[in-house]
Amino acid sequence: MTTVSAVVQTHPSDSLLVRAARRQRVERTPVWFMRQAGRSLPEYREARAGTPMLEACRTPDLVTEITLQPVRRHGVDAAIFFSDIVVPLAAVGVDVDIVAGTGPVVAKPIRTRADLDRLPELTPDQVPDIAESVRRIAAALGGTPLIGFAGAPFTLASYLVEGGPSRNHENTKALMYGDPELWHDLCARLAQIAGAFLRVQAQAGASVVQLFDSWVGALPLADYERYVRPHSAAALAAVADLGVPRIHFGVGTGELLPAMGAAGAEVVGVDFRVSLTDAVRRLGPEYAVQGNLDPATLFAPWPAVEEQVRRIVTEGRSTPGHIFNLGHGVLPETDPEVLTRVVELVHEASSR
């Protein structure tokens, strides 16, 4: 296994990313990309050829290799643990598969109290391979931090209730509004699963964790506060005593940003629909921010990409901590060379 060389810092806690997450002064803006370890890289497609996604996520040799690939290629300031938000669900016995072109598909959706009984809590002994993968990656990275992650309770609940991806979340909202007690019990169970999954990663060597809420932008603020925030807060609280910065990211969440920060994160991820300037104004100075280049911008001619990158770097200076990222994940057709150029540009444009 090839080792990624550490840069100037000698420990991940001294890294640009961790210091920015703690709103400490940094020499330049750290940068990483959601879904940087994935389908945009030819070496990823070669490594994963013939291996189903969930199997790949539970194979330490493969997880280690795939996680390190974008750090080698792009020179990003952090690695993101290669996994999927449904991995802990599968680990507790949910019959779920990741179908190419569709996403996670659950064989038996959860919609009744009896269904909830089929969803046990997650314990570390159910995911020893996850801890092993994190240990290997952290050792290979040296001073470069590893970000662990988990899916947030609302997004996990949506997959479980709908049985797969959903545009309108009809069944999810029907359960949430129609049986609030069952909804809260389901989300409490999912908060335990997500929190335990984050904790396994942090205890094994992840220096930062991210709670990823893909679908929560489908809710208005009042519903988020009532039905979601307590459970996201519980998941984030599971690692509060470990001292690792926590990133809370969702899609379409401009109106939810202050509430998402209040759930317990040090860093609030901002998608591409809201400028960093507006996000910082909504959040206040208590949080670092992460984001927020539109992933589709990477398909434009380079001068247009450069203009947008420089704008975001400039906007990021309005807050004590900024981590450059996309406003969602890397699209599969993205040219890896453009990602490498973006990393170099962020470093150059932000150097003090």
Q: Is there a contact between 204 and 135 (Cβ–Cβ < 8 Å)? A: yes
Q: How far apart are CA 60 and CA 119, in angstroms?
A: 25
> Which stretches within 92-217 are classed as H helix?
113-116, 128-141, 153-162, 170-178, 180-204
Annotated catalytic residue within 28, 39, 273, 341: 39
Q: How far apart are CA 40 and CA 42, in angstroms?
A: 7
Buried b (16+ CB within 10 A) or exposed e, 282-315: bbeeebbbbbbbbbebbeeeeeebeebbeebbeb
Question: Is 118 annotated as catalytic?
Answer: no
Annotated catalytic residue within 19, 58, 73, 159: 159
Q: How far apart are CA 186 and CA 211, in angstroms?
A: 18
Annotated catalytic residue within 23, 44, 84, 227: 84
Question: Is 84 annotated as catalytic?
Answer: yes
Question: Is 226 annotated as catalytic?
Answer: no
The helix (H) or strand (E) run that includes residue 259 is helix 257-262
User: What's the token pair of residue 242?
Assistant: 């470990």
The gap between the terminal CA atoms of the chain, to the nearest Å, is 35
β-pairing verdict for 208-213 and 96-99: unpaired
Q: How far apart are CA 346 and CA 41, in angstroms?
A: 20
- DSSP SS3 for 60: helix
Annotated catalytic residue within 48, 58, 199, 246: 48
* Residue 306 neighbours by CB under 8 Å, 6+ apart: 345
- The residue written with tokens 């908060």 in the block is 191
Question: Is 224 annotated as catalytic?
Answer: no
Phi (first) and psi of residue 336, to 5 degrees: -60, -30
Rounded (10°) angle between helices 153-162 and 170-178: 110
- The residue written with tokens 């952090």 in the block is 78
User: Using DSSP, how many helices (H) and how many strands (E) does the chain show?
Assistant: 16, 9
Q: Is there a contact between 183 and 223 (Cβ–Cβ < 8 Å)? A: no
Question: Is 177 annotated as catalytic?
Answer: no
β-pairing verdict for 96-99 and 103-106: antiparallel
Active site residues: 35, 39, 48, 84, 159
